[in-house]
Structures are given as structure tokens and as C-alpha cells.
Amino acid sequence: MINSSATIRDIIEAAWRPISPFWPLQSIVSVNPLQGLEYLPFDQAIVHAQHLWGRTPLPDTISTANRISIKWCQSLMDLGQARIGIVSKRRTLFDTWKSLAVWDTELTRPCPTLRSWLDKDPVDLIAHHINELGITLDQGAELLTLTLTSLPGWASHVRYLDQWASGHPTDIQTDFLAIRLSIIRAVGQDSEIVRWVTTPPVPNPDFINYQAIRDAESDYIPSLIQRLESAINHPSPSESPDLQMAFCIDVRSEPIRRAIESAGPYQTFGIAGFFNIPIQISDHLSLETHPSCPVIMRPEYRIHDRRPASTWLAHSLKSWHMIQRGIRYLYRTLKYTFSAPFALVEIVGGSLGIAMAIRTLFPAVAHMATPQKIHATPRLPSVLDALTAIPLEDQIRYTEGALRTMGLTDNFAPIILICGHGSSTQNNAFATALDCGACGGQPGDRNARVLAQLLNSPDVRQALHSRDISIPDSTLFMAALHNTTTDHISLFDDSLLPPNGIQQAILERFKSHLPAIQSICAHRRLTQLGHPTDVRLATRLAIKLSVDWAQIRPEWGLSGNASIIVGDRELTRDLDLGGRSFLQSYNWHSDLDGRILVSLLDSAVVVAHWINSQYLFSTINPTAFGSGSKVTHNITGKHSVMQGNASDIMTGLPMQSLYRRPGEPYHAPVRLTIGIMAPIDRVIGSIKQSPTPLQLIINQWAHLVVIDPITRRVSRITHTELLAHCSA
């Protein structure tokens, strides 16, 4: 018998611990689906995951309760797909549900006592259900956990709403558990529920195939170490570059960085794609505001993106865009209102049919004629107010942090491009997963423009000079955007260049190299996608795929990721890493106290692990941790996808992003290999100060490889060796 509210709150908290948050489609964030089990060694976590998520088949009681729960979740957590909403921010999730549940005959008919339950507080109601089942406290804790893991997608979304979203006036996790448990008891037999909780699950070694992971790692890790050993003993000679570029550490940046460096005297760096500037962007054309930094951070400043008010084009675009918004709003209102769709088909069905035929047969033509193309063009003139929106002290802090993080503190080239990245796809629910995750699922061009603007500021440069970072007056920072679907690079703010100067000549020469660079990278990408073509035709085909709304796989995204290399570019410049490595620039010479390395371990390395884990588990079990096939996806609530019209929401990656064809994975399921170029004592010392990476390596969620630039040795540090170092 549970009498203490403190006790029930403890087991509620414990029940939620294995559940990872799931961000909505508007800003997809890669998360380890077993994040709540990272305190366990990897092999034990796999066994425990099977116990929690791998219980099949579900009892009839739980299957029925899931079907009814899904119906309620779709309504209670809708973000506007329904024209008539039932949720009010002034009421809790539980209060909204209980006011309507009394009218649900699927609940009241089998359970006449339902009304008497609804007067209770959610915590008291959960305790009431456990007590009535006559189970022990430990079994009650198991019941609450299985209540969540038997509908894990919706539970993960609730976890996100509780931890990261705003506007919920109560503990939504407790409300959700109270609702779920009430539905289970309303439609099921208590004896069957007790058997479900107390019966040990049948072992299922295929739920997560640990042997497949080890086999893939035995192929990858020795090969990576061998190439790093060759590179550390035969470093690429450094040259004085004409142009430098800072790219996101995203694995898709690695091939194009290599192509750029082979085209001329160019040098590249890797840094998180929001360029260390936590901002939100307010677009005065689209009238939308969105964060442009990692979703686990809070934007510190709002940057306004305005078109020059005096231009006729700006006025025309804004007027047209507002007309567009009105038409789209009216159309969607009619489409989703239950009484209007039949009449809507009669009125506009013919014209939409013609439009669909054009988009299907001639996607490039349709794309060029689409009004959205106008405001999506990155080269429209616009002004960012970063210099006025961000105080000078913070401008200095952000710029110094960005430069020191990637080791760019001297030897500045005449032109330095800050290059964000984004993607271009059509009809893709997972589009934000292909844009910059560091920018909250948005393209990173505005962050690049903000950093370039700050670094061109005389006040910022003067302050940086007093901090031993002397940027020559002849150095100009500019912004760029790498389209990861077509490998096109757009350049911004060309007007900043002085005419007929050395910088103009360098930039024109670089521009002349871009078509060949794009063709080489597009050809490589298309070959991996299974579209072999002549290199001269690759760019055109890549663009065609990016605008084709029937294309299920316009690019592989981050599929294939396997390692993160934290170190000097000289180490990896001559290595073809196959687009499988996150490349974070790091200069160990200028980090004597190891603070920068600790920061990178806690940020870039942890995020790379999240991405790697999502791809690993989505590949190894697409049903439990992926999202199945795109063919049968439906969007629900404007925030998630489900299979068919009444499944749990799917929280992982679709099979088309992981598999060449059924049964043939493209992504090799490996745990992240963390390669760090620094003296081994500094690496160990920094990891000891970073609890999360330390836990990941000791519990074998990730592997550690140290590239020691002093001894010129590449060593794999096992979890037992790391433990010995930490205890010494």
C-alpha cells in the first residue's frame, strides 16, 4: 500500500528516467534513444533495453489501451493540424482529458467507475491504481515504466514537452502517466495487467544485434587508426593560404573541404555550425522568428533580418509573401475543416491536379515557378542588425571564443569565409534533419553572416588585438552557405569587397573553382545514392533530385557517420575519410590548460555521440528506434510522423535514410570513435573533467583514440585503461 505522495513521486521520476526526449519535426534533434541507460555499460544497457522496449507481443489489454491512448494523444498534443483544438494553456493536460473522457464510450462502457477516478489529483490517482492492483512498490515502479515504454514515441514527445517546451502549466509527465494508467485499467482486466508486469520477458537477442555492431567496428576502427598513424608520421605541409573557410563539423562537410583544399591554396576549419553565437532570427519578410542555435541552448539575442526598405523589390516581395500566407492559411483551413474538403475538391481539384502532374513530370520547371522560390533565394539583399542587437562586450566574447575554438588566432588569409550549411528537398517531413542541427534545424547562413559582421567590426578587432588575436586590416570576413543536397556554395555580401584589389582577385579565382568542386562532390554523392552519372552531368542531376517531390532519398544526410576527429587540419588534410567523420578543428599548442578541449568534449563530442547513436539504433532496429518506411508515413499534430493512421509516433530515422534497399544497410552500425590530437596526459586530464564523455567511454558507449603529436603514436585507450588512468 502506497500512502506517501513523496514515494509515488519518486517512482514516477524513476519511470521517466529511461525515456529520451523527442523533438518535433520543426526542429529535429538527434538523441540517443537509450540516453537514460547511459549510466550502464553498453552490453547491460542492451539487455535492459530489450526488457523495456522489446516485450512482444503486447497483451490484448495493452494493445487496446494503446489504440485509445493514441487517439487522445493526437488531440491533446496537436499543434494546429486540427482546426478545432481542445487544449487550453490555462488548463492542465489531465484537466482537459478528464473533462472529455466521461464522453468516451470506449472508456465508460467497460469501466463505469471511471467518473469516480477523475476527481483525484494525478499523483493520488496513480497511487490509487497501483494500490487497487495489489502489487508491491517495486512492481508499481515496473508498471509505470512499462506504461511508458509500451507507447514509447508519445512518451518521448511528452518528455520533450516537459523538459524543453514552454507553455505547460503543470507536470505534464505525471498527467500523461495518470491518463495512460487510467486508460489501461479502464479497458483491461487487472489480472492481465499484473501478469504483464510480473512475468519476465522472453529473451530476444535480435532486438539489438550486438554482434553486428562489433563486426562493423572491427572493420572500421583498425582502418581508421592505420590511416591516422600514417597521417601523424607524414603530416601535410602547411602553406600560406589565399583563402580560409570555416565549415560546420557535420560529416557532409568533410568531402567538400577536401575538394576545396585540393583546388588551390585554400585552408579549411571545422566548428559547430552555429559558430558559437546563440541567437534567434526574426525575418521581416516571412514574419517568422526562430532560434538559430542548438535547441538545448537558449538564444541570448534576437537578430532582425530586414530587406532595405527603399527597394521596390523588397516592398513587392513582402506584399506577395503576405498574400501567399493568406492564401495558404485559407486553403489549409478549408482542407482540415471537417465540413469543407468535399466542396474544396470540386472547386480547386482540377487546377491542383494539373499542378501535381507538372510537379511530378517536370519537377525543375515546377520548382522555378513556385512562389516560395523567391523568398528562399539566399542572395536577396538584406541587413542583419547584429552590431546593435549584441552588446560590444558579448561581441568580443563570442568572436574570441569562435576563433580560439577552431584554432584560428594567427596567419589570417586575405579572405575568410564563414560557411554555414543547409539542404534543399521537397515533400520531406524530415527536412530539418538535413539542415544544420547546431542551428536548431535551420540553415546556418545567418549565423555565418552574423559572425562575419562581428569580425569585420573595427571595435571588435581592436579588442581582440589586446587579447593577442591580431587580425590584419587587409583581412575580410564573408559569409557563405553550403547546400548539402547539391554541393552548391552561395557567397554573401560581395559588395564588401574593395574593387580591383587582391581580395577581389582571390575571390574571383575561388569562384572559378566552385563549379568543378560542386561537380566532383555531386558526382561522389550521386554514386553513393545509386545514381551513377558522368561527372559533367552530376550537378544538373543533383539539382533535379533536390526539387523532385517524389524523391525518397535526395541525400544520405549524416548516414555513415562513425567518428569525430578533434585536432589540427594538417592531420586529416590528405586523408579521404569517406564523409564519415565529424571534423572539429583544435590546436593543442594554444590550449595549455586544456580548457578548450574540455569545452569541446562537453559540446561537440557529446552531440556527435547523440547523432551517432540515433543512426546506430535506427539502423539496428528500425521498428523500435527508427521510423520505418516513408511510404506509409502520415504526419500527426504537425509535430511527428506515424505509420498509417493510428500507430505510436516514430522517433527515429526512416529506413530510406539508412538502407540502400530492404535488408541492405548503407549506414554501418558502429559506436562513435573519438579521436583527439593532443598529448595523452592532456587528453586524459581533460576527459577526467568532463563527466559525460568520461561515462560514455568507461561504459563503452564510445571508443577513444589518442593521436599524440609529441610521440607521434596513435593509441586506442580502452575503458579499463581509462579507469586505471583516472584512479592513478
Across 601-622, average pLDDT:
96
In single-letter form, the type of residue at position 170 comes to T
Asked if residue 46 belongs to a domain, the reply is yes
Hey, is 550 helix, strand or coil? coil
Across 496-522, average pLDDT:
91
Q: What span, in angstroms and rounded, lies between the C-alpha atoms of 224 and 184?
A: 50
- pLDDT above 50 (res 563): yes
Grid cell in block for residue 671: 559506436
- pLDDT above 80 (res 377): no
Grid cell in block for residue 271: 566548428
- pLDDT above 80 (res 324): no
495/512 same-domain check: yes
44/74 same-domain check: yes
> What is the band of 373 on the pLDDT scale with cuts at 50, 70, 90?
very low
Q: What span, in angstroms and rounded, lies between the C-alpha atoms of 524 and 529?
A: 9
Q: State the pLDDT at residue 17.
A: 95
Hey, is 285 helix, strand or coil? coil
Asked if residue 651 belongs to a domain, the reply is no
Across 498-509, average pLDDT:
89
Q: Which residue has the cell 524543453?
A: 164
Number of domains forming the structure of the chain: 3
**Does residue 551 or residue 519 have the better pLDDT?**
519
> What is the band of 165 on the pLDDT scale with cuts at 50, 70, 90?
confident
Q: State the pLDDT at residue 312.
A: 56
Asked if residue 662 belongs to a domain, the reply is no
523/388 same-domain check: yes
- Cβ(302)–Cβ(296) below 8 Å: no
In single-letter form, the type of residue at position 504 comes to Q
Asked if residue 497 belongs to a domain, the reply is yes
**Does residue 106 or residue 200 have the better pLDDT?**
106
357/422 same-domain check: no
- pLDDT above 60 (res 137): yes
268/360 same-domain check: no
For the ranges 195-204, 649-658, 697-706, the lowest mean pLDDT is seen at 195-204
Percent of the chain predicted with pLDDT > 90: 67
Task: Calculate Rg over the CA atoms of the chain.
Answer: 27
**Does residue 275 or residue 169 have the better pLDDT?**
275
Task: Give this prediction's pTM.
Answer: 0.93
Asked if residue 416 belongs to a domain, the reply is yes
Asked if residue 78 belongs to a domain, the reply is yes
Our measurement of the distance from residue 464's CA atom to the centroid of its chain's CA atoms, rounded to an integer in Å, reads: 33
44/165 same-domain check: yes
Across 60-67, average pLDDT:
95
- What is the overall mean pLDDT for the chain? 88
550/481 same-domain check: yes
Asked if residue 484 belongs to a domain, the reply is yes
Tell me the angle at which helices 137-149 and 190-198 cross, rounded to the nearest 10 degrees: 90
Domain range holding 190? 5-198
Asked if residue 532 belongs to a domain, the reply is yes
- pLDDT above 50 (res 379): no
For the ranges 162-171, 299-308, 658-667, the lowest mean pLDDT is seen at 162-171
Q: State the pLDDT at residue 375.
A: 32
387/362 same-domain check: no
Please give the angle made by the CA atoms of 209, 215 and 220, to the nearest 5 degrees. 130
According to DSSP, the residues that pair with 698 across neighbouring strands are none
Which H/E stretch holds residue 581? Answer: strand 581-585
- Cβ(650)–Cβ(640) below 8 Å: yes
- Cβ(28)–Cβ(441) below 8 Å: yes
CA distances from 304 to 280, 287, 383, 387, 389 (A): 9, 10, 8, 11, 8
- pLDDT above 50 (res 378): no
